[in-house]
Every structure is written in C-alpha cells, then in structure tokens.
Chains A and B, each alone.
Chain A
Amino acid sequence: MTQHALPILILASALALSACASKKDVLPAESWQAAPAPAEAPIDQPGTVPPVEQVAPTTLSGMQADMVAAAGADIVYFPYDSYGLDEAARAVLGGQAEWLVRNGSVRANIEGHTDERGTREYNLALGERRANAAKNFLAAQGVDPGRLSVISFGKERPAVEGANEDAWARNRRAVTIVVSGGR
C-alpha cells in the first residue's frame, strides 16, 4: 500500500494544481498559422498558450423568443452619437423588464453597438454607454442589476451593411440577450 502512496500523492496534487490552472484567466487556445520562423524573432510557437475551458455564457434561444414575444423586441435604437432612450425604447425595455422580473432565474447580457461614423475607441465607449443606459432602465424597473451584464462591441458588429442613413440607424442599438451560465 505505501509503495503506491507516493504516486497517488503526486497524482492527487497534480489534479489539485490542474484545477487551479483552469481557473487562471488565460486565452482559449489559438491555432497558429504555420510559417517559417526567422532565427532572430520566433513568433509562431504552437503550444505556448495553455488551453482553457469555455466559461462564456450560453444563449437560450427558446427563452429569447419568449421575451421578444412578451416585450415586442429585444433591440432598442438610439439617435446618432447619443445614448438617450426615446419613448419607443422605453416601452420595449419596460416590456423586457416585466418579463425578466417574471422569469427571475435567467440572466441577461446587454450588447451596445454603434454605427461606423466614429473612431474605433470612441465607439467602444459609446456602445458601452448605450448598454448601460438600457441596463439602468431595466434596473429602475425592478430587475436586479446583479442579473444584468453589459458588453460593448462599438462599431465592430453592425446588424446591417451599408453606408446610408437607414443602415446606420439600424446599427445604433442595444440588444438584450437572455443567457444562462455563470461567470
């Protein structure tokens, strides 16, 4: 028995340590482009970044449809360079708030987006302002803010392509995504 104790001890500690490793905040594995590395500056080194489990929340599409049916939409729109909520936006968010209160177990992730007519950094911040505006409204309507998270995509994820007023208007939005899963 004791001759197995040491290997078991080692195995046990290795398992314990690997569990710690999975909690460290590292990027998911990227598959490197194979390329001949020059002698002076090796860049592509497969395997130097440790793999990680997926911890991102997953979207629940059935519940999303449910919320849309109840609130009328999962998207609200904004005027150019603004993060103010107009009548229509408030009505939609009000409906979402009611639904979220009724379905107390789900969480929601609010995405903020902008049109392309701004510098990249500024638009990331503006998208965050829009997402926050929606979140604050929902919280004011009684949704526990702990269930709400925000993320901004700036101008990186337009809903429609096009360089015209219609496309731009449809890209200036905050989207409420029903999610489950932990952070």
Chain B
Amino acid sequence: MVKSRLMALLLLAAPFAVGVPAAAQLRVDITSGTQAPMPIAVPAFPTGASAPTPAGTTVELGRQVAGIISGNLQGSGLFRPLGAGVFPVPGVADVQRPQFGAFRSAAAQALVTGFVTANPNGTLTIGCYLYDVFSEEELMRQGFTVTPAGWRRAAHKCSDAVYSRLTGESGYFDSRIVYVAESGPRTKRVKRLAIMDQDGANHRFLTSGQSLVLMPRFSPVNETISYMSFANDRPRVWLYNIGTGQQEAVGTFDSMSFAGRFSPDGRTLLMSVTRSGNADIYAYDVGSRRSTRLSSSNAIDTSPSFSPDGRQIVFESDRGGAQQLYVMNADGSGAQRISFGDGRAGSPVWSPRGDLIAFTRMVGGQFRIAVIRPDGSGERLLTDSWQDEGPSWSPNGRVILFSRTERNGRTTLRSIDLTGRNDRRIPTPLDASDPAWGPLLR
C-alpha cells in the first residue's frame, strides 16, 4: 500500500520534473524596432600644427570638414550628427585613442574623427576614423591626399566611408548633380544647364540660356553630359564634354530627338526620335556613332532607361492607349507592360541597385513620384504634392532626386529616401527642374 502511494506520488510529480526549459535556452523574439536616425558624434578634425593653405588654415579646414560630414550624414536622414559646439576639438592624440566617456554621455552611438595635415608639397592629407562608442572598437579608417582645391571631396569621401560602413549601403556623397536652372516668366522661360556638388557647393552654369535646353544626363564613365537643345530651331540631343567643353550632335536625324540616357557602361545612348508624329526608341553607339532603332510601334515611346546589368530597358509608351511603363530586352524585343492601376505612368528610371524603378504616377492632374519593382509588383507612392516629376537615382540607389512644380509656377529640386522618408529641398540659386544625379567620382 505504501509502495503504491509512493509510486503514485512519483508519477504525479513526474510532469513537473520536466517543467519549463532551462534558462540558457530562453529565446526572446524582437520582431520590431524603431526607425530613428543614429546619433553620431562628429567633432572638428584636429590638426598637428596649424598651417596656412590656399583653402584656409588647417584648423579652419578641420572644422569645415567636420561640418561637411555632418551635413552629408544629416541630409541622408539616417543619422543625427552631434558636432558643432557639442564637443571640444579633440587633440591629435585623441584621434587614435578617443576618450569615449564624453561621447557616451552625449548618447552618441558612433564617433567620426580624423585630422588635417598640410604636406610640404602643397597637398593636404585628411584622415578619417570611425569608432563604435559602446564597444570602443575602431570600425574603419581611411586617408585621402588632395590638392587644396579638392579638400571638399576628401570630406565627401570620408562621409561615404562612414555611411557605408554603418548602413551597408554604398556611398553617394562624392557626386554631382546636373540640372536645368530656370528663370523668367513661364511664357518666356530662360533655361540654362547647371552643375553643382550634391551638397550644392561649386555651383556653375554650363550654358548661357540663349537656346532652350532640357533633360541633361550624366555619362557614368566620363565627363560627358547628354542634353537636348533647341539651338537653331532644331531640337536634338547633344553630347557635351564638360572637361574639354567640346560639343557634338548625336546622329543625323531630320526630326526631333530627345530624352537621352546613357547605358551603365557609357557606350550607348538611348533616346527617342520622332517619326511622322510618333516617337521611337533608338540606341546610339557613342564610339561608332551608329544608331539602331529599338522600338517601332505607332505610338509615343520615350523615356528609356537601362537596367544596371544592361540587359533590359524600361520605357514609357502610349501604345495601349495611355502612357504606361513597359520593360523590354536591350535589343528591343519582348516588351511587356508593368504598370497598372489608376491613371498614367511615365518617366521611368531604373535604380542602380536594380531592385526598383522610380517613375511619375499621374492621376487626374496630380503627379507623384512612385517606385515599383521591375516585375510590376509592389508599387509605392512616395510623394504627395501637386506636380512631382522627372525622378533620378543617387549612385547607390537609395535616394531619389526629382523636380516639384507648385501651382504658382515655382519649380524646385527635392530628394526623398526610397523608404518615403526625409523629403527635403535641394537649394539652388534659381528655380530648377530636370535634375540628373551623376556617378560617384573616382
């Protein structure tokens, strides 16, 4: 009887011997976080001994380099730089062995520091270091040697190194934007080509405004811009080498050509050429100067854009009745419609990352910037204003530049992150339209 009771007790206790799994196997799922810019400390870059340079003293340059880096990181929308005025200028010894306490109490999660040195041969050396504030480990270091005239590029390259190490994206800060600067009444608008660094510095005009100019686009491989000019009342595409100033007309078409855009290897220029009131897409070989017609529908086919692997082309066509997006092979075969839904779709641009196509979605009279996957799925509207059009991707396929027209006629340049956040104005001296983001400089 006792034995039976014993057995009973043991058996009753048995399930509880199993109990809850042991603590080391406790696994907690974190299934969402927050989307917030990362606080990052960017104190002024120290210098050994202040030396004068044609670009200012090295002390001033150290402050300005930190300022450019802060501005770039802030503008990306992914960082919240803590810099000017928050931290004292570190000493040169602190660059390799920072005092993390101050940065930790300011709640910075990473630290960018470096130095500026004037070399005896007149060049500048700018060092760039990135640290993780919690673990205190060095994440990245790079150095750049530049002429005094190119010191801003070193700051942009340092920004790119910091940005890509922390986000995994490739950089986009050491690049330029070409666009059309507009002035005057809308009925007699003066349009000039202009170029500037992506942060607005080094702005200059490239044409005088005598002829109407439109749609400038960068070559990915050299200092050439393709654009459309109405000079001599012959609207056509031109190639303009901004290094040498040489210009050359593209092809010998009797009719209007427009909407030029380079292939990723820079060897082909896609564009539209009109024919009896319709427009076809042509591929112009820059080297041999020969043109091949790629599309031949009785429709307006325009705004062609290559995929980053050069194998496909996205373009807009009204062959189905109204403007929609189509994807075809690089030889012109196999065109498939990819845009559906309300309204029309136009001015598509393939992302350099290959994963998305940005375009203008038109519903009623409203134009909005949207993105869509190359197979036509996942369309997302990013902006919501009156007329946003003409998107262009940053070199890393993360930020979209576009032109916004307001009802009162003002046109400005704006940019937005592909997640739809950080919609911001790009300041220009005059009104602006038709922006094109150039490649990362080497």
Residue numbers of A with Cβ under 8 A of B are 25-28, 30-33, 35, 38-45, 48-49, 55-57, 81, 83, 109, 116-122, 124-126, 128-129, 132-133, 151-153, 156-161, 163
Knowing A48-B245, A56-B232, A124-B258, say if A129 contacts B277 (CB, 8 Å).
yes
* Set of chain B residues within 8 Å of A42, measured between Cβ atoms: 243
Query: Is the CB–CB distance between A156 and B214 below 8 Å?
Result: yes
Q: How large is the interface on B (under 10, 10 to 19, 20 to 34, 35 or more residues)?
A: 35 or more
| In-complex Cβ contact of A38 among B202, B232, B278 (8 A) | B202
Q: Please choose the segment from B131-139, B158-166, B181-189, B288-296 that sits at the chain A interface, where 4 or more of its residues have CB less than 8 A away.
A: B181-189
A45 to B246, CA, bound (A): 10
Query: Is the CB–CB distance between A132 and B276 below 8 Å?
Result: yes
Query: Is the CB–CB distance between B235 and A151 below 8 Å?
Result: yes
Q: Please choose the segment from B28-36, B60-68, B77-85, B204-212 that sits at the chain A interface, where 4 or more of its residues have CB less than 8 A away.
A: B204-212
Knowing A39-B147, A121-B347, A124-B258, say if A57 contacts B243 (CB, 8 Å).
no
In this assembly, does B310 line the interface, its C-beta being within 8 Å of a C-beta of chain A? no
* Set of chain A residues within 8 Å of B189, measured between Cβ atoms: 156-157
| In-complex Cβ contact of A128 among B147, B233, B256, B409 (8 A) | B256
Nearest 9 A-B pairs (CB), nearest first? A48-B245, A132-B277, A45-B245, A119-B346, A125-B300, A30-B208, A125-B279, A33-B205, A129-B277
| In-complex Cβ contact of A40 among B150, B244, B346 (8 A) | B150
* Set of chain B residues within 8 Å of A152, measured between Cβ atoms: 235, 256, 274
Residue numbers of B with Cβ under 8 A of A are 147, 149-150, 153, 185-189, 191, 195, 202, 204-208, 210-212, 214-215, 223, 229-233, 235, 238, 242-247, 249, 255-256, 258-259, 272, 274, 276-279, 300, 302-303, 316, 318, 322-323, 346-347, 360, 362, 365, 367, 386-387, 389-390, 405, 407, 409, 434
- Pick 20 A–B contacts, CB within 8 A, sort by A: A25-B249, A27-B229, A28-B211, A30-B208, A49-B245, A49-B246, A81-B322, A119-B347, A119-B362, A120-B214, A121-B259, A122-B302, A124-B259, A125-B274, A128-B279, A132-B276, A151-B233, A151-B256, A152-B235, A163-B386
* Set of chain A residues within 8 Å of B347, measured between Cβ atoms: 119-122
Who on chain A is nearest to B366 by CB? Answer: A117
CB distance from B175 to the nearest CB of A (A): 13
A48 to B246, CA, bound (A): 7
Who on chain B is nearest to A38 by CB? Answer: B149
A118 to B318, CA, bound (A): 12
Query: Is the CB–CB distance between A129 and B300 below 8 Å?
Result: yes
CB distance from B197 to the nearest CB of A (A): 10
Query: Is the CB–CB distance between A83 and B277 below 8 Å?
Result: yes
| In-complex Cβ contact of A56 among B207, B233, B243 (8 A) | B233
| In-complex Cβ contact of B302 among A38, A57, A125, A129 (8 A) | A125
A81 to B344, CA, bound (A): 12
CB distance from B319 to the nearest CB of A (A): 12
A33 to B386, CA, bound (A): 33
Query: Is the CB–CB distance between A27 and B150 below 8 Å?
Result: no
| In-complex Cβ contact of B149 among A39, A49, A109 (8 A) | A39
Query: Is the CB–CB distance between A133 and B277 below 8 Å?
Result: yes
Knowing A41-B242, A124-B256, say if A118 contacts B149 (CB, 8 Å).
no
Who on chain A is nearest to B244 by CB? Answer: A48
Query: Is the CB–CB distance between B389 and A119 below 8 Å?
Result: yes
* Set of chain A residues within 8 Å of B214, measured between Cβ atoms: 120, 156
Query: Is the CB–CB distance between B277 and A119 below 8 Å?
Result: no
Who on chain A is nearest to B242 by CB? Answer: A43
| In-complex Cβ contact of B405 among A40, A56, A116 (8 A) | A116
A38 to B204, CA, bound (A): 11
Most buried by A among B185, B242, B243, B300: B300
Query: Is the CB–CB distance between A120 and B389 below 8 Å?
Result: yes
Other 5 A-B pairs with CB < 8 A, given A40-B149, A161-B187? A27-B231, A27-B238, A43-B206, A120-B347, A121-B215
A178 to B365, CA, bound (A): 34
* Set of chain B residues within 8 Å of A126, measured between Cβ atoms: 300
| In-complex Cβ contact of A158 among B186, B210, B256, B360 (8 A) | B186
Most buried by A among B204, B360, B367: B204
Query: Is the CB–CB distance between B149 and A128 below 8 Å?
Result: no
Query: Is the CB–CB distance between A157 and B149 below 8 Å?
Result: no
A146 to B188, CA, bound (A): 30
* Set of chain A residues within 8 Å of B245, measured between Cβ atoms: 43-45, 48-49
A124 to B246, CA, bound (A): 26
A49 to B322, CA, bound (A): 41
CB distance from A153 to the nearest CB of B (A): 8
CB distance from B211 to the nearest CB of A (A): 7
* Set of chain A residues within 8 Å of B230, measured between Cβ atoms: 153
CB distance from A38 to the nearest CB of B (A): 5
A51 to B17, CA, bound (A): 97
A44 to B247, CA, bound (A): 13
Query: Is the CB–CB distance between B210 and A122 below 8 Å?
Result: no
A128 to B138, CA, bound (A): 60
Knowing A120-B214, A158-B187, say if A38 contacts B150 (CB, 8 Å).
yes
Knowing A121-B215, A129-B300, say if A161 contacts B204 (CB, 8 Å).
no
CB distance from B181 to the nearest CB of A (A): 10
A128 to B236, CA, bound (A): 13
A153 to B187, CA, bound (A): 12
